[in-house]
């Protein structure tokens, strides 16, 4: 299933940020979470230029990576962005991605109907801390 998500991710990102994001997704799919977290952080400036749906996928997988590393604060931040996107547009994610989001959301103690809580605009400097 992770490889399918990775393949979809690679097809979606044929832009200049393709390389950095595909490396991060590859690390995530391989279970190399510390590397994936560093790669997602490095890809953030490019990810912020993506459309809303693609940025939501970036936020989802960055949040899942932080959750896998046990960093609940960063996971909540990024999964909050993904949850907001899913709440706004139920078609934002594939069934597998939506399932991963809801499973992660529940594992953090939230109910599926509970709204995302990430701010619409990230405060200056917040990305560097996460």
Rounded CA separation 24/51 (Å): 18
CATH 1.10.540 fits 2-120, yes or no: no
- DSSP per-residue letters across 12-49: H--STTHHHHHHHHHHHHTT-HHHHHHHHHHHHHHHTT
**Which whole number is the average pLDDT over 118-128?**
43
At 64-97, the pLDDT tens digits run 999 999 999 999 999 999 999 999 998 999 999 9
When the pLDDT of each residue in the chain is averaged and rounded to a whole number, the result is: 80
Of the ranges 4-13, 39-48, 51-60, which one carries the lowest mean pLDDT score?
Answer: 4-13
User: Quick check: 12 pLDDT over 90?
Assistant: no
Q: 113: exposed, middle or buried (C-beta count within 10 Å: 0-12, 13-18, 19+)?
A: exposed
Q: pLDDT at position 21, please?
A: 85
Q: Sketch the domain layout of the chain as residue ranges.
A: 2-120
């Amino acid at each position: 299933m992770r490889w399918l998500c990775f393949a979809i991710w690679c097809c979606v990102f044929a832009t200049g940020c393709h390389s950095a994001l595909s490396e991060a997704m590859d690390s995530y799919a391989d279970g190399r979470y510390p590397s994936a977290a560093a790669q997602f952080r490095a890809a953030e400036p490019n990810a912020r230029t993506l459309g809303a749906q693609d940025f939501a996928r970036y936020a989802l997988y960055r949040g899942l990576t932080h959750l896998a590393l046990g960093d609940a604060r960063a996971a909540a931040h990024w999964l909050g962005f993904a949850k907001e996107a899913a709440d706004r547009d139920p078609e934002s994610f594939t069934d597998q991605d939506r399932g991963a989001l809801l499973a992660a959301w529940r594992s953090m103690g939230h109910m599926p109907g509970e709204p995302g809580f990430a701010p619409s605009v990230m405060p200056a400097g917040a990305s560097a801390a996460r």
